[in-house]
Amino acid sequence: MSIRSCEEFLRAAYDSEDVTRQLKVVTEPQELVRLGQRHGYAFNTEELIEASSCFQPAPRDAHAASPVQAPTSTAFYHREYDMADLPGFEAVLEELPRLKARPSTLDLGEFNRSFREDDMETTSMSPAAPEFQVWHNRMMEAHWHDPKHGLKQARRDFHLVNVDHHTSQTKYDEYFDAKVRTLCALERLFGQEVQFSASLWYPPNSYRLWHTNETQPGWRMYVVDFEDEAADPERTSFFRYMNPDTGDIVTLNERTRVVRFFKVEQDPRKLFWHCIVNPTRRHRWSFGFVVPENWLDAISGAPVALTN
C-alpha cells in the first residue's frame, strides 16, 4: 500500500468517465479504498486522506461544467410519491432487491444491545421545546456519546446501519454495481448530475434522532422500501419533521416503495428538523440522493401521494 498508489488512482479516476460515475455513489472512505482495489490500486484510508489533501487535478477543458440552475421556490416542505407512479423509475425498481443489503459483517446482537429506549423517545419531543434543546446541546457537546462509555460506545443519534461502512460484506461488489446503475438511471431521468448521499438499513427497533443536515444544503430524494408489506398500516415506521413556518410536527406513516423529496436549508429560520423511527419487527431501507433544484420538472404529472 502507498500514497503514490492512491494518487495514481485519483488521477486515473479523474480522467475516466466510468470511474467518475462510480465515485458519485461512494459515500464513505472505506468504499473509495475498495473501489481503488477493484481498479488495481492498493491503499488504505490513512493514505487516502493524505493523498487527497494534496491532490490537484489538471484542468479539463473537454468537460464543461454543468449549467447552474436557478433555484426553485419551495411552496411545500415535502412531497411523496409511490415509486410505481413515477415515470423513469422502472430501472430503480429493478435494482431495489440488490440495493437492500443486510451486511453479513454486522453483529446484529451487538446492534440490538446498543438500543436505547430513552433516546428513541426524544423523537416524540418538538425540536422547538426548551427541554429538547437542552438535551440536544448536551449531547452535541459529548459528540453523541455517553460520557460513561466515551468513544467506545456507538453514537447515540443514530441507531441504524450504514451499509456503505461494510465493504467486506458478502456480495458487496454486486451491491455497489447496483448503486452505479441506479445513479445512471436517475441522471438520465433528471438530465443532470445526481449524487448518492446515503444507503441506510433500519433493522427492527432502529431510529435516526432529530437532525437538520444543515451542513449539506439542497434537495434530497429518498427511496424507501421494506422487506414486506405492513400487517397493520398504522403500526409501521415513520418520517417526522417540524414545519419551519408553524412549528407543527408532521408525522408520515411509511409504506413500501415510497419516494420522498425535501429540501435542506442552512438559514436558521428554515432548518428542516426531521427524524426517522422504525419501532416494528420489519426491516427498512432508505437510499438518499442529492438531486437538482429542478427535479420536479422531470416528474411533473405524476400523482402526489401526500403533500404538506
**Residues 97 and 162 grouped into a single domain:** yes
List, edge to edge, every strand of the sheet that includes 238-242: 158-159, 206-211, 274-278, 238-242, 249-253
pLDDT of residue 116: 93
List the domain range (segments joined by +) for residue 203. Answer: 79-109+157-307
**Residues 48 and 83 grouped into a single domain:** no
Q: What is the pLDDT of residues 98-116, one digit of tens each?
A: 999 999 999 999 999 999 9
The answer to the question of residue 290 being in a domain is: yes
pLDDT of residue 67: 38
The answer to the question of residue 288 being in a domain is: yes
pLDDT of residue 1: 53
pLDDT of residue 39: 86
The answer to the question of residue 173 being in a domain is: yes
pLDDT of residue 63: 38
Distance (Å, rounded) from C-alpha 67 to C-alpha 74?
A: 21
Residues in Cβ contact with 107 at an 8 Å cutoff, skipping those fewer than 6 apart = none
Burial code (b: 16+ CB inside 10 Å, e: under 16) for 99-110 equals: bbbbbeebeeee
Cell numbers given for 46? 490513512
The answer to the question of residue 255 being in a domain is: yes
Q: Which of 13, 34, 52 is the last residue of a domain?
A: 52
Q: What is the pLDDT of residues 74-92, one digit of tens each?
A: 447 889 999 999 989 999 9
Q: What is the mean pLDDT of each run of 10 residues along the chain (308 residues)?
A: 76 82 87 86 81 66 39 64 93 97 93 94 97 94 77 82 94 96 96 96 97 93 90 84 93 94 93 96 96 92 65
* Single-letter amino acid, residue 26: V
pLDDT of residue 300: 82
Cβ count near 46 (within 10 Å): 12
